[in-house]
Chains A and B, each alone.
Chain A
Amino acid sequence: MGAYDPEVAGLTRDEAEAFVYREARLIDDLELEEWLRLFTEDGIYWIPIDDSKPVEWNTSLVYDPPLRREERVYHLLHVPFPAQAPRSRTVHLVSNVEVAAGGDDAFTVRSNQVVYEVRQGDFRQVGLGEVRPIVARVEHVLRRVDGELRIALKKILLIDREMSQSNLTFII
């Protein structure tokens, strides 16, 4: 990625930051229906294990085209299940935001994110009350749709993506 150049990118860092911050806030506030609306019609939410391999031949931690993303949100908001009963609280910290032109009216926004997660409830019980950091490099591919920025791709590269994981049944 070259140096940031607002003339080339057509997207200022301020605008990119505001967008990524707002997305993070919607996730942390569990405003997930609103979060879904941030994506383009064919947007992808992707947490790969190895992003160098073709996605159709390799499992990802999450590979959500629109309907799967909608299902994930429906699951979280409307269907109780053991891994989210009680549910997680999260706080996203976003830093190192950079913007680059992505071609075809797309922009690539890179950030580093630390997501702290804790399961609510009786903190004396297993899995609850333990604040866990989830550390990732995040890449947003954004497009303007009717003048509004939308996510064509959100790719989350966990620093421990090919290693043993605990419960990741919440939105990162």
Chain B
Amino acid sequence: MAVTGLAARAPARGDLDPDDLVLEGPHTYRVHTRAYTDPAVFEAEMERIFSRTWVYIGHESEIPHPGDYKTAHIGRQPVIVSRGDGGEIHVLVNRCVHRGSVVCRSPRGTANYFRCPYHGWVYGKDGSLAGIAMREGDSGYSEHFAAPAGLMRVPSVATYRGLIFASFNPEVPSIEQHLGRAAFLIDNKIDQSPVGEIALRSDPYVVTYRGNWKFQAENIVDGYHFTFVHEGFIKLQERYGDSTGDFGVHRGRSMAEVRRIRARGVSWGCSQGHGLSAKPVDQIESLLDGRLGDYYRELLERHGPERLAWIAGSGAMSIFPNLGIIHHQIRVWRPLAPDLTEVTVYPYELRGAPDEINQGWLRSQERFYGPAGHGMPDDVEIFALNQQGLDASAVDWLILERGIDSERRDEVGDYEGLPSGETPQRAFWRRWKRLMAEG
């Protein structure tokens, strides 16, 4: 689908003061319409958020061997994520340092070098400039030519359990500091694999919606919307249950039961801006005695009963600013314009798990996600309706106050709240406000 940025209608009104955009009080949490619509806000986000923090760019299993590469974006900066000869990961800006052409045209592949299509400059897997075509001679480059070292390297690259993050900020805190409590939920997800590894094998779903990127960041951990936006899906569950391949992912066979199940669990809003929600399993015995008992007993042996309850439970994450993990998928959202966002859903496999499980969960995701699924198209429809609704700029504020009186702050500065509260969303906006205020 060809898409064009429909960017933004209202011009920026004066200087950007985040205090004007996020209103905080003891029982109040409101976000201004302009935070989602103003092109000046969007420009500032690209600089102050996407160029300063860690941004998720891919998974190690996408580039397993030397020479493997994929392309990605850090905000609006296109990058190549390349595996070097020693297995190291290079993150290179996808722009020839000579006259600017895109160097790599494929979304993924294997290459010994990258060659600019314009004048044939050649770069190695690590981005180093390996050759300049027709360098010598009177019409060539001066002997004093200050040749660039190669493609621009993104200064900070880190991995956590196979997830690759990069940042244009050379001073960015460690990835462990950035992830904080989110690492616990990431570990729970990845430890569903008996060998503690996931792999991206399936093609991803890619959907573009006409709304701001922050709607997706908020919604992936929004416990409040499910019984409304997905009311139709719950009706399908009533009628079809597991018979059409849900594979036990969506529990509850009636609206009342779904409400009851979804009222359990916990949510966190992390100081780093992450929103998390999780629900450990109440009775691990039922899993150990169930159809997939062998698989769960293997996990029990490895992790013990307390961890297993978390590992086998449900969990969803919005990792600031662009990464989601939910069910058995990695989700990435990419801001294209104030009112245009691309979402990519990468189903992952659990290495070492029985084929039945990996295939079952893949079919389950196929049923809910993707542009023809029974769930995700409804979410992105709402994101577009949100954006259009905000054209009504006569109304100033959006209200994000659910559960504000019941959340409590812990010793590391994270907030803990109840499942259908807006604790995760407030955490996003607190971090957003801090970064935007740094100017």
B365 at the interface (CB under 8 A from A): yes
Q: Chain A residues near B372 (CB, 8 Å)?
A: 47, 61-62, 168-169
In the complex the two chains form, what is the Cα distance from A166 to B371 in whole Å? Answer: 6
Of the four ranges (under 10, 10 to 19, 20 to 34, 35 or more), the interface on chain A belongs to 35 or more
- Known contacts A63-B363, A63-B366; A50 and B371 CB within 8 A of each other: no
Main secondary structure of the interface of A (DSSP, over half): loop
Say which one of B118-126, B228-236, B267-275 lies at the interface with A: B228-236
B283 at the interface (CB under 8 A from A): no
In the complex the two chains form, what is the Cα distance from A68 to B374 in whole Å? Answer: 11
A60 at the interface (CB under 8 A from B): yes
In the complex the two chains form, what is the Cα distance from A49 to B344 in whole Å? Answer: 14
A58 at the interface (CB under 8 A from B): yes
Asked if B206 and A79 make an inter-chain contact with CB atoms under 8 angstroms apart, the answer reads no
- Contact pick for B1, options A68, A75, A164, CB 8 Å: A164
- Contact pick for B203, options A53, A56, A166, CB 8 Å: A53
Q: Chain B residues near A68 (CB, 8 Å)?
A: 244-245, 367
Asked if A75 and B232 make an inter-chain contact with CB atoms under 8 angstroms apart, the answer reads yes
Q: Which of B356-407 contact A (CB under 8 A)?
A: 358-359, 362-363, 365-367, 370-374, 377-378, 380-382, 384-385, 387-388
In the complex the two chains form, what is the Cα distance from A79 to B229 in whole Å? Answer: 12
Contact with A along B335-352 (1 / 0, CB 8 A): 000000010000100000
- Known contacts A63-B366, A67-B244, A160-B1; A82 and B382 CB within 8 A of each other: yes
Number of interface residues of B (CB under 8 A): 45
Instruction: Across the interface, name the chain A residue whose C-beta is closest to B342.
Output: A164
- Contact pick for B210, options A47, A53, A126, A169, CB 8 Å: A126
B256 at the interface (CB under 8 A from A): no
In the complex the two chains form, what is the Cα distance from A80 to B370 in whole Å? Answer: 18
In the complex the two chains form, what is the Cα distance from A49 to B206 in whole Å? Answer: 11
B184 at the interface (CB under 8 A from A): no
Given pairs A82-B385, A169-B377, 14 additional interface contacts (CB within 8 A): A59-B202, A59-B203, A59-B204, A59-B365, A59-B366, A67-B240, A67-B243, A82-B381, A126-B210, A160-B1, A164-B208, A165-B370, A166-B1, A168-B372
Can you list 13 contacts pairing A with B, beta carbon distance less than 8 Å? A47-B372, A50-B203, A53-B203, A58-B203, A59-B205, A63-B363, A68-B245, A71-B374, A75-B232, A82-B229, A164-B206, A165-B1, A165-B370
